[in-house]
Amino acid sequence: AQRVTQPEKLLSVFKGAPVELKCNYSYSGSPELFWYVQYSRQRLQLLLRHISRESIKGFTADLNKGETSFHLKKPFAQEEDSAMYYCALKSDYKLSFGAGTTVTVRA
Amino acid sequence: DTAVSQTPKYLVTQMGNDKSIKCEQNLGHDTMYWYKQDSKKFLKIMFSYNNKELIINETVPNRFSPKSPDKAHLNLHINSLELGDSAVYFCASSQALRSPLHFGNGTRLTVT
């Protein structure tokens, strides 16, 4: 069975401060991991996928197979980063989401 | 020029009614999905279809019946609506097995 765990339900940081959202997974195969972002009352948008190793909106995420983690990081948070962030694991025909972390960036 | 479009955006109805939500994607993807986002923002897969064939039915009550007339459409029909069905329903599509999902804007269903 696959599982995605996001231990923090809420995260509040000041503008300009670093932010890290934790994600751990359990999966017996080779994982395909993603981060999605949902701004207030909008659709989910793909933020990052581990296979592409790129930085989007200043966010990065590194897959650590030893620790089974895929934490999301940004060195300097901006107010427009306030949103709900979901870590997700894709196996055949199914994307399983963590419970989500609500990020609030305060001025 | 929306890639995954759902209608309606809002749906308010009474318990016991039957309603449908439509979804269309113009990305040429083979796989389509329905997800439910509850009041606590948990996202849970309901169904996935690949080339019009049902692949996943994630223990959803049989009051929910998806229909895929072609690869570009996956509609969701709900019979005998219950209060607990109130949620936001998201349609999504993906190109291949391990590809990311593209989501629609969601349908906010309120059952009174």
pLDDT tens track for B47-95? 999 988 998 888 899 999 999 999 999 999 999 999 999 999 999 999 8
In a domain, A105, yes or no: no
Q: What is the pLDDT of residue B1?
A: 61
Residue A97 contacts B where some CB pair is shorter than 8 Å: yes
The answer to whether position A57 is within a domain reads yes
Contact, B46 vs B35, CB < 8 A?
yes
Of B90, B91, B78, the residue nearest B13 (C-alpha): B78
pLDDT at res. A50: 86
CA angle B95, B99, B103 (to 5 degrees): 75
Identify the CATH number of the domain in which residue B42 sits. 2.60.40.10
Q: Is the Cβ pair B44, A97 closer than 8 Å?
A: yes
Domains held by chain B: number? 1
Q: What is the pLDDT of residues A57-88, one digit of tens each?
A: 999 998 999 999 999 999 999 999 999 999 99
Question: Shortest CB distance from B98 goes to which of A84, A90, A100?
Answer: A90
Domain count, chain A: 1
User: Is there a domain that residue A67 lies in?
Assistant: yes
Residue-range definition of the domain harbouring residue B16: 4-111
Q: Is the CB of B42 inside 8 Å of chain A's CB atoms?
A: yes
Decide if A44 and B48 are in contact by the 8 Å CB cutoff.
Answer: no
Nearest CA in chain A to B94: A93
CATH code (residue A31): 2.60.40.10
Confidence of residue B98 (pLDDT cuts 50, 70, 90): confident
In angstroms, the CA B86 to CA B88 distance is 7
Q: State how far Cα A78 lies from the chain centre.
A: 16
Q: Which residue type occupies A32? A: E
Judged on CB neighbours under 10 Å (0-12, 13-18, 19+), B54 is exposed
Residues contacting residue B105 through CB under 8 Å, at least 6 positions apart: A42, A43, B2, B5, B6, B9
Could you give the CA distance from residue A27 to residue A105 in angstroms, rounded to a whole number?
32
What domain range is A92 assigned to?
Answer: 3-100
Contacts of B37 (CB under 8 A, 6+ apart): B43, B44, B87, B88, B89, B90, B106
